[in-house]
Structure 1
Amino acid sequence: MNLDAFIKKQPNFSIPTTYFKVTSKFSTVISFYNYFKEIFPDLETPVTLNVFIFNSGGLQVAHKQFRLVTGESTQISLRELCAEMEGMVCCVAVPEFNLEDFARDKIVLRTKVSTGFYVTWFDDSNHVDIMHEWNTVSAGVQPFQTSFLNYSFLGGVIRPGVILMNTTHTSNREGFAEPLMQLYTMKNGKQLVLQSKSIDPIPPMGTRVIDIYSLFGEARHFLEQYGTLGLSVSSANLPLPLTIESHESGDFHIHHG
């Protein structure tokens, strides 16, 4: 099933996403617990977990379903679901029971029912990072916004980056993201823009990983000069990015803003 068909079939579910990467030296694992047991402890609450995988160009390359009985948990290695690539993964748990009937007189359901999960990233040197789900898919064009991130040498960071994910699900050209990125410092309480770069358009459901030092040739010099730099990312169809950092120890970290 493609995501468009799923959205039409299940319009009352939001679709959270996160970044994934699968290579010979890097793995991504999704962890999910059928949490409905905690909400309805005296009832049977099986679910079907839908996992959708999109490559960096926004093309859906896989959809897999996993049935979980009441209280069950699972870990899913994306290496088993797709070839070597990076991009966006979406996870949606759909109850096999009547959620509205179960919720009546117990809880108030949101307009869109969401799914919580964790993602763990591993490299071949046993470095690990973990995070919860991130931005949700939007069925329509998302408004223009500017996100602000900070970078420094603190913690032994030797290579800073940013992960841009266009979570707009539409076939319209208006669904593309066209990011403008500006590296800046603060001077007398105001932004002093040091360098600006336009990024090639990112298609709907597409992902782009940006190496800050490669994009901004003077970034390392500016970091040494100012200690801390700000990065603004401006575009429609581009919610708050993730940051990705490589450290002197060989470790890596992927963070939300």
Structure 2
Amino acid sequence: MSIIQTLLSNEPEFEFSTQYAPVEDSINSIICFINYYDQIFKESNTDVSLHLVFFDKNGSETGYKKLDIAANDAVQFNPKLEGIQSDGMVAVAAIPKKNIHEINKGGLQIRNKIGSGFYIRWESDSGGKDLMHEWAAIQQFHLPREVHHIGISKTTHNIEHGVIIMNPVVDIKAISKPTINLRVSGKKEIIETVLLEPIPPLSTRVIKYSDILTKFNKTLTDEKSLIIDITGENMSPPLTAEWNRFGDFHFHHI
């Protein structure tokens, strides 16, 4: 059994939140977490175990770390310094060392599945930096088909546009087969359609539109704004991606 499957089995009340987390020669992903349990459950003095599981782009586990975080303490975990490599996602969960139902003196309504909040700071060797909060949680079962729409506006800057698609499902049968449509904003006519290669469970794909859509660059030059429709099952809501020629980048939710 994999590390993530073991953790999910051992901690059924908690979710493992994910985020795109490349740890390679030219880029690093710093996981930023503050133990907020004492702020929610006042004066409970609750320590947590912070679990981090890293995956490569094809869904294989590449690293695991467990950190003990005292109440109200914080950590900025640098996976590169720990020898971890990744070109995929990270799954994170902060598991309290006390029974949250017993420390819930204020009678807060506790969800059936408890997620963990954190931030990720991306840093590239070229000086690019970006920051975002956690994203969709790991799922154990098939996710239904969804459609996501991404708007792209023409700019005077030389920007490469793309998308990050993650399959957060652990079930080995939960393959994602997204379709990407290109059209002009305000119009239903589809200019170009591409069916992506299947994305296995716990896998990540970083896609530049100009690499897969032959008409993307010309259409963006001719029109003021475009729409990318991404349709598929077993995928988190996509992250938009932008890279400019000076080495800066921007990853964000739609």
The number of residue pairs the alignment matches comes to 253
- Structure 1 regions of 5+ residues with no counterpart? none
Residues in 2 aligned to 1:35 and 1:73: alpha-carbon distance in whole angstroms: 9
Residues in 2 aligned to 1:167 and 1:46: alpha-carbon distance in whole angstroms: 27
Report which of the two has the higher share of strand: 1
Which residue does the alignment assign to 1:32? 33
CA RMSD of aligned residues (A): 1.5
- Per-residue deviation, 1:90: 0.7
- Residues 42, 200 of structure 1: CA spacing in aligned structure 2 closer, same or farther, 3 A cutoff? same
The answer to whether residue 176 in structure 2 is matched with residue 180 in structure 1 is no
Which residue does the alignment assign to 1:146? 147
- Structure 2 regions of 5+ residues with no counterpart? none
- Identity over the aligned pairs, expressed in percent? 28
Which residue does the alignment assign to 2:7? 6
Which residue does the alignment assign to 1:235? 232
- Per-residue deviation, 1:158: 1.5
- TM-score if structure 1 supplies the norm length? 0.94
Which residue does the alignment assign to 1:217? 214
- Per-residue deviation, 1:250: 3.2
- TM-score if structure 2 supplies the norm length? 0.95
Q: Deviations over 1:181-224 (max 9, x none)?
A: 111114xx541211100110000000001111111122111001
Residue 7 of structure 2: SS of its match in structure 1? helix
- Per-residue deviation, 1:248: 4.6
Between 17-26 and 87-96, the greater mean CA deviation after superposition? 17-26
Which residue does the alignment assign to 1:169? 170
Q: For residue 222 of structure 1, what is the amino acid of its counterpart? A: T
Which residue does the alignment assign to 1:98? 99
- Residues 252, 225 of structure 1: CA spacing in aligned structure 2 closer, same or farther, 3 A cutoff? same
The answer to whether the Cα contact below 8 Å between 2:35 and 2:74 also exists between their aligned partners in 1 is yes
Between 44-53 and 72-81, the greater mean CA deviation after superposition? 72-81
Q: Deviations over 1:90-141 (max 9, x none)?
A: 1100000111101144311111111000000011122210000011111100
Residues in 1 aligned to 2:102 and 2:86: alpha-carbon distance in whole angstroms: 41
Residues in 1 aligned to 2:44 and 2:31: alpha-carbon distance in whole angstroms: 26
